[in-house]
Structure 1
Amino acid sequence: MEPWELRRAVEAGRATASELGLQVNDVVVIHNSDRVALRLAPCDVLARVAPSGHRADSEFEVEVAHHLADVDAPVAELDPRVAPRVYLRDAFAISLWTYYAPVGSEIAPADHADALRRHHAALRQIDLDAPHFTDRVAVALREVNDRERSPELPDSDRELLSSTLGGLSAAISIDKAGDQLLHGEPHPGNLLNTRRGPLFVDLATCCRGPIEFDLSHAPEEAGKHYAEADHDLTQRCRALNWALFSAWRWRRDDQMPDRDRWRVEGLNRVRAALDRCGLG
């Protein structure tokens, strides 16, 4: 968010928690992108604040967390002191979560794989209406194929991303018999190392697809510890995910920090991943 919008988001998160009876003397910005994560102290709440246009995503994330609360999923929990819902204030959608203090050590690949396996097992126990991963690909394709949405994308790279997104999405989704609910983006940035063990956050990315789609977001070493996965399918999913990542970076309104570097790096990762699959 821009500084002026961030100030409003911080105040919306602080005021919402205070009015719900939580003590807020200090606010620390943990993450700032199209939405922000705020640590509220001393009540130890993590407030996720998004523009009201993202209200549906926020409500879906709360719904996912509510379903997973009873099946021992390794995920961050909503704050139990307030109603499990999305609060609206000053054009922002706000959800309140338990804050988990991170521990220092990195999560080992085997532990990442174990957390993902347990998360998949929990997801198989719930009934939830979630989009298929191909819906996400369809949105990315619209961005890539529309020159007004991605005006700076060179023609040769536009063709690369379009063919990769369309071709791999179709190939991966031919057999949907093994599809299940997934986290959607269980990369290391969405896995916290806490005193309770590794916990996944950012549950709004939940979707349906093969477990390999999730595993392709994890470090490659983690895949070696997830014996049930198809290695070749994971590699194809990894190429697809780098194409998705690149498509978002070339959007006209993308606000990722250091976007220009990631535009180049993303395309290089797509080509390298396709080469590893024998599709370059």
Structure 2
Amino acid sequence: MEPSELRRAVEAGRATASELGLQVDDAIVIHNSDRVALRLVPCDVLARVAPLGHLADSEFEVEVARRLSAVDAPVAELEPRVESRVHPRDAFAVSLWTYYEPVGSEIAPADYADVFLRHHAALRRIDLDAPHFTDRAAVALREVNDRERSPELSDSDRELLSDTLGGLSAVISSAKAGDQLLHGEPHPGNLLNTRRGPLFVDLATCCRGPIEFDLAHAPEEVGKRYAGADHDLIHRCRALNWAMFSAWRWRRDDQMPDRDHWRAEGLNQVRTALDRCALD
């Protein structure tokens, strides 16, 4: 968010928590992108603050968290001292979560694979109306094909992303792997190492698809330790994931920090992943 919007988002998070009876003396910005994550102290609550236009996404994330917590999934939990819902405030949607102090170092591949297995098992125990991964790929494809929405994307890179998004989405969805509910974007940044063990966060990306779509977000060693995974399919999904990531970065209004770096890196990763698919 831009500085002026960020200040308003921080105030919305602080005011929401205070009005719900939580003590808030300060708010520390942990993450700032299209939405903001704040650590509120001394109540030690994580506030996720999104523009009100993302209200439906925030409500979906809260519902996913509520259902997964009920089946003991390895996910970050909503703040238990307040009602489990999204709180509209000014021009923002605020949700309140348990804050987990990070512990230890990088999560080992074997532990990453284990928490994946437990999370996927928990996702099979809940019933939820979630989009298919191909729906997300279609949204990314529209961004790429709309020159007004991605005006700085070169013709050759636009063709690369368009072909990858359209072609791989069709190939992966036609595979025989069974679809199920997924996290959607379980990359290392969305897996916290806590005193309770590894916990997944950022649950608004929940979708349906093959488990390989999730595994493609993790380091390659993780997929090798996940029993029954189709490694060729993981490589295809990884190329598709990077193409979607790149599509978001080339949007005119994308606000990801260090966007220019990630625009170039995303395209490089798409090419690398496609080369790997060709070798396989």
TM-score range (shorter-chain normalised) is: over 0.9
Show the 5 A alignment for 1:148-187.
148-175=148-175, 178-187=178-187
Gaps of 5+ in 1: none
In the alignment, the residues of structure 2 paired with residue 94 and residue 55 of structure 1 have an alpha-carbon distance, to the nearest angstrom, of: 9
Distance 2:279 2:210 in 1: 20
- Matched residue, 1:74: 74
Partner of 1:143: 143
2:189 corresponds in structure 1 to 189
- Counterpart CA distance in 1 for 2:108 and 2:2 is 35
Aligned to 2:4: 4
Identity rate of aligned residues, in percent?
Answer: 85
1:277 paired residue number: 277
For 2:259 and 2:50, the matched residues in 1 are separated by: 21
Alignment partners' CA distance in 1, 2:221 and 2:167: 26
Amino acid at match of 1:192: L
Quote the residue 1:44 is aligned against.
44
Q: What are the Cα deviations for residues 111-131 of structure 1, in whole angstroms up to 9, with x where unaligned?
A: 111111100000000000000
| Structure 1 equivalent of residue 106 of structure 2 | 106
- Please say if residues 176 and 210 of structure 1, whose CA atoms lie closer than 8 Å, have aligned partners that are also in contact: no
SS of the equivalent of 2:40 reads strand
Instruction: Tell me how far apart the structure 2 counterparts of residues 262 and 143 of structure 1 sit (CA, whole Å).
Output: 17
Q: Distance in 2 between matches of 1:47 and 1:10?
A: 9
Which residue of structure 2 aligns with residue 131 of structure 1? 131
Greater shift after overlay, 50-59 or 174-183? 174-183
> What TM-score, normalized by structure 1, do the two folds share?
0.98
Supply the AA of the counterpart residue of 1:207.
Answer: C
> 1:173-223 deviations in whole A, cap 9, x for unaligned?
014660000000000000000000000000000000000000000111111
Task: Decide whether the 8 Å contact of 1:176 with 1:209 is kept in 2.
Answer: no
Task: Measure the CA separation in 1 of the matches of 2:38 and 2:182.
Answer: 26
Alignment correspondent of 1:118? 118
What SS class does the counterpart of residue 12 from structure 2 fall into?
helix
AA in 2 matched with 1:264: A
Moved over 6 A (4+): none
Give the Å deviation of 1:104.
2.8
* Distance change >3 Å, CA 150–CA 265, structure 1 → 2: same
Amino acid at match of 1:15: A
CA contact (8 A) 1:49 1:93 kept: yes
1:245 aligns with 2:245: yes
1:114-151 Cα distance to aligned partner (Å, 9 max, x none):
11110000000000000000000000000000111111
- Work out the number of aligned pairs and report it: 280
Counterpart of 1:53 in structure 2 is 53
Which consecutive residues of structure 2, in runs of 5 or more, have no partner in the other structure? none
SS of the residue corresponding to residue 171 of structure 1 reads helix
Aligned partner of 2:126: which letter? I
Where 2:47 maps in the other structure, the secondary structure is strand
